[in-house]
Structures are given as C-alpha cells and as structure tokens.
Amino acid sequence: MSSRGATKAASSSVVVAESCEVGGTRASSSMARGSKAVVIGDTGILRALKGFKDVVALVESSDPNREGPTKNNILRALDWLAESEPGDSLFFYFKGDAEVVEDDDSDYEDMAVNAAILPSDHWRSGNLMDASLRRHLVEPLKEGVRLTAVFDVRSKKKGVECLLGLPFTLDLFKGHWVRGENPMYVKSDVLAVRGDGITEDFVRLCRRDRSLIGFARDLGATLTSTQALSDLTQPFELRPRYPNPNFNAQLGLVVTKKRRKANRSTQLEGAAYGALLSTRRGVSSRPK
C-alpha cells in the first residue's frame, strides 16, 4: 500500500495522515523519514507517535462509507507497514478484543493454544490468529528494522500474552529473558507490549526517559521480543537511531518440544486391545 494508494483509500476505509499532528507538533518529513504506523481501534495512542510521518488509522465509525477495522483492511494495512528498509521504525497498535483458540491437531505444545484478535467483522470473516499476524507483520521484516507493537486487549485468559508469537518474554521480577518453547527466530528487532487498559499509561511513559526494563515494570505489561537483548538499561524508544542487530544464531522455527497427544484412531485401537485382553482372561464386559 503506497502513500498515494493509502490516501485514496482514506475516503472509504482508512484514515491516513501524511504528516499527522501529534503532541501539538506537526511532524516534518525530515524528522519522520523511515517511520510509519498502523493504529487500530483508538486514535488516543497518536499522542505517543511524535515524529511518525505516515499513519494509517482504522477505527469504528458511523460513516457508512468507511468500513473500519475489518479483517481485510487490517491485513492490507499490515502488508503496507511491513514494506520497510533497514533503519526504519515501525509502530503497530491494536485496541479491542482478543480470544484464545485451541488447536487439538497441533504437534507442538505451545501451538496448541493460539491467540487471536477480533476484527470488526469477525462474525463474518473470522478472527486474525497470532500466526497470521506474525506472517504478515514480523517475518517479512529485514535486519535493522525496528517494530514496536502494542496490544491493549480486553482478555485475561492465559494464552494471549503474546499476540505475535515472539520467542523471548521478559521476566519483570528476575530481569532476564525467558525463551519460549519451539521459538520462531527472525532477523528484525521487534518489541511487543500486551496489557489490558494500558494505552494511557503507555502514552505517559513514552514521554519519560525510561530504560527498557523500567518501562516494562512501570507499565505492568507483558513484554516480548525477537532478540534476547543483553542491555536492559538501554532507553525505550519508538524511533531508535540504531535498531538492535540480529543476535539469533539460527533463523526460523526451532523445535524444542513436541506435544504428546492421542488421536481418535489411537483411542479406538486402545479400547479394542483392552477388550481383547479382557476376553482372553475370561472377563466378560457384559453386565451380569
């Protein structure tokens, strides 16, 4: 989605600010070079986006000519956002509902419970799974690209902690990264923040000079990353001058644990074998 194409779409489904006013200051093209954002659900987050040049906002509206944050519009916006080059700073924000979806056919334990966000037309088009979000937004990014993703979601169910499926989660108490099972490693520098009702605090904390771990602790939210950053005292910045390089020795899915599961055919075979043993031992399954 080019800036020109996005501008044309503004009259129907998306709102694009070529130079949006944030924090009372109009962002100039020189300040905002290589920075763009997608905002879904609430434009209050725009106050934290000082210096971002191109912003696509998908919000619910009573305007019949504007579809809002539908599944198709969100995917188009994600693909537009992922078109980037090393040195670019990207921002993604979603405020809305999330849900947990169980996958009984998954071969991996951590993938048996999936998180998903709900577009405005989810009752018709379905949800957006974490794997789909990662495929459209995270995996295409090059090394040297910084993406900050914020999810302000109304769900406290276990399983929605990370809606992008990033490999590392910051332990706020011990102050170190915890690697998840079956991690998916990528080259880019991605930080994802997830919480419930965190938008106002996020805007407020972005105006302060805080370290990465200090920011996460003050926000009280789950922080995940594509890189196990060794320096947690580095400042939390939406537009860092130098994005973190890739520290992952290998890329792609690394299987560390498979899921033990018994499918329907195995259960039937086990029941038949048990009945055969009972017959051989002279034990009848019929009631006396």
Comparing 283 with 175, which gets the higher pLDDT?
A: 175
**What are the domain boundaries of the chain?**
3-259
Nearest Cα neighbor of 156 from 205, 206, 99, 203 is 99
pLDDT at 110: 46
Return the structure tokens found at 58: 């998908």
Does the CA dihedral 194-155-121-125 come out positive or negative? positive
Return the structure tokens found at 13: 């489904």
Comparing 44 with 256, which gets the higher pLDDT?
A: 44
pLDDT at 2: 42
Share of the chain above pLDDT 70, in %: 69
Q: Which CATH number does 3-259 carry?
A: 3.40.50.12660
pLDDT at 200: 92
3-state SS, residue 21: strand
Lowest model confidence (mean pLDDT) among 35-44, 107-116, 121-130, 223-232: 107-116
**In the predicted structure, residue 131 carries a pLDDT above the cut 70:** yes
Q: What is the pTM of this model?
A: 0.76
Residue given tokens 């990014």 in the structure block: 141
Q: Say how far apart CA 192 and CA 202 lie, in whole Å.
A: 12
| Contacts of residue 243, Cβ cutoff 8 Å, sequence gap at least 6 | 86, 87, 89, 144, 145, 146, 189
